[in-house]
Amino acid sequence: MKKHTLIVIAVALLLVPGLLSAKPFGKVGTAALQFLKLGVDARAIGMGEAYTAVTDDISSVYWNPAGLAPALDNQVMLSHTNWPADIMHEFIAGTYTTGVSTFALYGSVLHMDKIDITDEDTFGPTGEQFSNSSMALGFDFAQQFTNKFSAGVGVKYLRENLYEFNVNSYAFDVGSTYNTGWRNIKIGMALRNFGPDIHYTVDDDEDGANDEDPWDLFDNDNDGLIDEDGPELDSKIPMSFSLGISGDIKRTDTSWWIASLQLDNVIDRMETWNLGTEYKMGNLYLRGGYQFNYDTNGFSAGVGYQIPTRFAILNIDYAYTDMGALAETFLKSAHRLSIKVRY
């Protein structure tokens, strides 16, 4: 390998000890906008989310914007996820490429059925219902600087609705990929969801005053008013850094076998090591992966099929994620279906 290739690998490896020693923010799961952690694309999920260095198509808008370049075709992607408790996640994206630069637009929505409102005195339904949803709208740009190095950036608008409460914010993504040129070994790095803390606006007693504590019914300052002990605390968003490496175990004109290893550092949970693999035989894809140090079982698997047509190339992918105790049965676990079109 060339000298500059060895330098890039060395720099990437030097980052690992710092990530391992980093302390997660506060308590696990205390960051807001948790839907930003929900990965998209059945191919990536089937590989255990060890995808930062692998990604080379339209799903890069989520995993690593640098993977959008180089691209020879325009692409469209649709993805649907069934989560436990009848929670649904939809994702749509489209790209336009010049062959060197690529532009992308995407949208993500997490939604669920309406939930009954329960009366706190009788612990029974009141007859009213509320809904909860989260949304992200984003724009990415990626550039191929050499035949081995690409970089990309992205910005997204974020919104979360819960009953009568909502919050709006924004965040940035940035990433890079470097192909060493030996056995297709690639190094990928991505910083996702870099943005300001968010502030929930709450007027629980409908008196026109926000930033009250809805759970405090005491008159703390003896002015005859309750529920006013100060502003709600700001909440962080789940910023994450991923460092991955992938390469070929075997590759021919009609098949390949690749493997990927990745370290994820997320601000409100412990680091996870992700291991994934994909085997392609003709138009059939078989995938498997595992996330170590993860809350649930961490196992995932997937299958895909490519359908060439006269006008476009169609990829249909499915992935299953073992949710452990969170899912009562196989059918109630996490299932993803994604469709990609290249034209």
Fold assignment, 3-199+234-342: Porin (2.40.160)
Residue 93, judged by CB atoms within 10 A of its CB (0-12, 13-18, 19+), counts as buried
Residue 209: per-residue pLDDT: 60
Q: How far is it, in rounded angstroms, from Cα 45 to Cα 40?
A: 7
Residues of the chain with pLDDT below 70 are 1-29, 201-233, 296, 325, 327-328, 331
Beta strands in the chain (DSSP E): 75-83, 87-97, 101-112, 115-118, 125-130, 132-144, 149-162, 165-179, 186-194, 240-251, 255-266, 272-281, 284-292, 299-308, 313-321, 334-342
Three-state DSSP at 7 gives helix
Q: Look up the pTM and report it.
A: 0.82
Alpha helices in the chain (DSSP H): 3-21, 42-46, 60-63
Domain boundaries of the chain, sorted by first residue:
3-199+234-342
141 burial type by CB count under 10 A (0-12 exposed, 13-18 middle, 19+ buried): middle
Q: pLDDT by residue (tens digit) across 46-78?
A: 999 999 999 999 999 999 999 999 888 999 999
pLDDT of res. 110: 94
